[in-house]
Structures are given as structure tokens and as C-alpha cells.
Amino acid sequence: MNSINWYKYSSPATFYGLAGKLIPWFYSAAALFCVAGLYLGLVLAPTDFQQSDAYRIIFIHVPAAWMSMFIYVVMACWAALGLAFNTRLSFMMASALAPTGAMLTFVSLWTGALWGKPTWGAWWVWDARLTSELILFFLYLGFMALQAAIDDPRRADRAGALIALVGVVNVPIIYFSVRWWNTLHQGASVSMTKAPSMAAIMLVGMLVMALAAWMYAIAAALSRARSIILEREKNSQWVAQMVEAEV
């Protein structure tokens, strides 16, 4: 019986080639979704009766916030896989995701502040949602700093995996913060359980931008993963052959 070789793409050399082929597709998908999303959100969507045009920040704020949480969960999954199967590539994927996750968390905090100033009258409040998102940002920075501080890649991987797994409990806290505490931040306008309380075109624009953010995050993480693979596999034959072919 032709059993599936699950480990085929877990070898850095094979994954390196596969990722190389996929990256351009993800970047172009991200660009396409972004153009479509921005056109919907910035050009076609009407002004909001309450917030006038300040609400258009939603097309960046929400996708970035969703991705910041989603990426951390994906990092935790890679960390768990790496610890369970001892596959170095899983740890490399977690390390490849962290900078993009940190950047999107910062974008979410930044756009939130610029949205909050005109609508709440404050750049920042120690609100449950905002504070837990800020903690997420520090967790990302902590993951990267810890990995940078440890020379031996294998020990750095395990330390990073620990922060990823321990910190992942913060993600549901962020998500449910608006329900558990009386927060200034509004509740979920979009949820799995009830119909979204948003105008259709605004919702579609936001969802398309969320897809753009997702495609971008994949492309960026795969691209960084390839560089990490090269750095950590530089002594092996396949890297030598590939680089010699290029030289």
C-alpha cells in the first residue's frame, strides 16, 4: 500500500523548493485581494452615519488584529509539532512567523489608536482588549528576543516553543475580552454565531482585506523560512550544490 510519506516536506531541502514555488502565488494573491478590498472599502463603501469616514480604518485594523491572533496560534502549533516530532523545520516555521505577527500586532495597535482618538477621544486606554493585545505584542517581541539571545539553534527553538505555547492562552483572552469585561472596545461585529451587524459592502471589503492579510502573512513567513533554512543548513550538501549552481 503506498503509504503517505508525511515526512517528505518536513525535510528542509524539499520544503525549500516547495516554498520557493508557492511564494510568488501568495504575494500576488495578497496584492489582488488588497487592491479589491481597498477599492471596495475606500472607494465604493458609503460614509458611516455615526463615524463619518473615520470607520474606514476598519479595513486595516480588523484584518491586522485577526492575523495577529491567528499567527500566534499557528506559531504555537508549529512549536508543539516541533517538540512532539523533533522536526527542526517546524521550529523554523515558528521563528519565521514571529516578525510578521509582531508587525501586524503593532499595526493593529497603531490603527486602533488612530481610530480611538477621534471616536473615543483617547489614543490609549487600559482597556481589557487593548491591554491583552499589547501583551500579545510583548510576547512576540519576547519570542524573538529569546531566540536571538541563545546561540545554539536547538536550544533557542525549545525556548521559543515554550514562550509560544505558554503565551497562546492570551489569544482567547483577547478574543473574549470584550465579552468578559465591560470594555470600551466594542464587541464582535462579526462572529460565527450571529449575523454580522455591518453593512454588506463594508463587511465584504473587510473580509477581502482579511484574505489579503492572510495571503501576505503566508508569503512573508515562507520567504523568511527559506532564509532561515539556508542559514541553518549552510553546511549541508544540498545548500552547497544550490549555491554553487548560482555562483
Partner 1 sequence: MTGIAMHWNSWSEFLHMGGYAFYVWGSYGVTAVLIVGEILLLRAHRQKALTLAKRTVKYGKVEKEEGNDEIAA
Residues in 159-178 at the binding interface with partner 1, rule: CB under 8 A = none
Binding mask 74-103 for partner 1 (x = CB under 8 A): ------------xxxx---------xx--x
Minimum CB distance to partner 1 smaller for 193 or for 235: 235
Binding mask 214-243 for partner 1 (x = CB under 8 A): --x---x--xx-xxx-xx-xxxxx-xx-xx
63 and 71 Cβ atoms separated by less than 8 Å: no
Minimum CB distance to partner 1 smaller for 14 or for 131: 14
Quickly count: other Cβ atoms within 10 Å of residue 43's Cβ.
8
Q: Does 37 bind partner 1 (CB under 8 A)?
A: no
Q: Which of 117, 179, 187, 191 touches partner 1 (CB under 8 A)?
A: 117
Distance in Å, CB of 140 to partner 1, minimum:
13
Q: Which of 17, 25, 73, 118 touches partner 1 (CB under 8 A)?
A: 118
**Distance (Å, whole) CA 66 – CA 79:** 20
72 and 168 Cβ atoms separated by less than 8 Å: yes
What's the one-letter identity of residue 23? I
**Distance (Å, whole) CA 24 – CA 58:** 27
71 and 104 Cβ atoms separated by less than 8 Å: yes
Q: Provide the H-helix boundaries in the chain.
A: 12-38, 58-85, 88-120, 128-149, 153-167, 170-180, 200-232, 237-246
Backbone angles phi, psi at 98, to 5 degrees: -55, -50
Binding site for partner 1 (CB under 8 A): 7, 10-12, 42-47, 52-54, 56-57, 60-61, 64, 86-89, 99-100, 103, 106-107, 110-111, 114-115, 117-118, 200-201, 204, 216, 220, 223-224, 226-228, 230-231, 233-237, 239-240, 242-244, 246-247
